[in-house]
Structure 1
């Protein structure tokens, strides 16, 4: 396993200059694809963020995993077995959780196909001083079109949220395996994730499963990280055996979004 730890500096906007993310370690999981690496380096350079590359685990066979795989539990939960890529991804993120525990400070974890909003540093600066308890904060959702983020935020608001300046930190109305393109994990949260994954029983991004193991998962709005699935092919989706995704603009989803918006406003951070 090799690591690359560039310290990236370049002209950035005034908002980024006024905040610091020094309390966080920043990790980028990569398969050393030159296009992806150029994209993530350009973005983090613009934000003046130093980071460490973590080489992804790539298994030739699922049986080569260094953790036991509970096939019956996986089959019962998903109706299928995990793919080779999903197991590799699971092991890759787990290695980063171990580093977060060892470092003793929160980690910000990106996959190398991330699209990062410029407000990220401002949010992390506020998150460092927030009193709300969390183990994991999801910064983004995979396979969501950032060009339609206004509509997506309307359809997927938060409940029981806490205001943080221009941001909200709270619980999604429903958690689901929503990707791991960008998230924050505390050392205590990483320890809980490690304790819950001494064997492989789920996909890496099955946040509902981890919540059953005592991991407190929160989300930010607006989302600050998106997956660049439009320009960069996913390393997993080609082999995932998942049903076709529903269209974003279905009438049922819009109606549900309206109901959730009313409930979110009623909660008003309580």
Structure 2
């Protein structure tokens, strides 16, 4: 399913990419924030809850984005079939078509309620750095790719994700009522909704943010405090130390899992 504003002008590009690979797809019309009437936003959105969590209000576009995906979750929950959700500015790697689209639904549902297939605002030139600094602490391998739990989850976008019917029902249950968080606040979905959020490595979906202007970014930038560059420089030694610690923990976990699986194999042969 591809979430897209009718006025976006992006449908032809992504439809051509999907059709070229023979992938089945359909569009769901996103809710247009411009159509909110007087007083309607106040009914649909809990500003106090958003400000308590993020220190800022959500933009009209962010509220509309959340409502659009929630409408899609209703279709997935009622239809009883897992779905890959893409935004209309998504770029897909070949592995998306040759591998991910062919994975069995029950295999993924055994591992997760949601699998993030990409990250917004991440360029391919920074892909290796992202994997280095944000390793998976637990993962399972499928077709030479890994699905697992990262050390840290954050608002990393919703440019592409797989969601099961059970995941859709959990998402609907804990987001009922006015919108009070960002759609892509995955830690919130995990903690408040008891959802199992996993990530795919390497990513197979990318946001075309360098070539396609975002409908949300203008409003969001006005509401979000700007980051101070010198602060990032001061934090770099901490990031390096955290990197070493994370890879050490990940290696320890994988070694323990390997020993455990080896022991089970030995038990089975007795």
Q: Within the alignment, does 1:108 sit opposite 2:88 as a pair? A: no
More helix by share: 2
1:242 aligns with 2:224: yes
1:205 equivalent to 2:191? Answer: no
5 Å-filtered alignment, 1:144-155, equals 144-155=122-133
* TM-score, normalised relative to structure 1: 0.81
Q: Equivalents in 1 of 2:243, 2:18: separation in Å?
A: 33
Gaps of 5+ in 1: 1-26
What residue is the counterpart of 1:20 in the other structure? Answer: none
CA contact (8 A) 2:140 2:148 kept: yes
- Tell me how far apart the structure 2 counterparts of residues 154 and 194 of structure 1 sit (CA, whole Å): 34
Cα pair 2:150 2:199 within 8 Å, conserved: yes
Matched residue, 2:210: 230
In the TM superposition, residue 127 of structure 1 has moved relative to its aligned partner by 5.0
Give distance in 2, aligned partners of 1:142 and 1:106.
22
Whether the aligned pair in 2 keeps the contact of 1:67 and 1:198 (CA below 8 Å) is no
Q: How far has the Cα of 1:256 moved from its partner?
A: 3.4
Which of these two proteins has the greater Rg computed from alpha carbons? 2
* Residue 181 in structure 1 maps to residue 184 in structure 2: no
Distance 1:68 1:32, change over 3 A: closer
Alpha-carbon distance between aligned partners in 2 of 1:254 and 1:235, rounded to the nearest angstrom? 34
Q: Which moved more, 1:54-63 or 1:149-158?
A: 54-63
1:70 to 33, 43, 46: 46
2:143 corresponds to 1:165:
yes
**Residue 75 of structure 2 aligns with which residue?**
99
> Matched residues in 2 for 1:119 and 1:42: separation?
17
The alignment covers a number of residue pairs equal to 244
Q: 4+ runs of 1 displaced by more than 6 Å? A: 246-250
After TM superposition, give the deviation of residue 105 of structure 1 in Å. 0.5
RMSD of Structure 2 on Structure 1 (CA) = 2.5
Q: TM-score, normalised by structure 2?
A: 0.81
2:14 to 40, 45, 55: 40
Question: After the TM superposition, which residues 10-29 of structure 1 pair with which residues of structure 2 at under 5 Å, given as runs?
Answer: 27-29=1-3
* Runs of 5+ unmatched residues, structure 2: 258-270
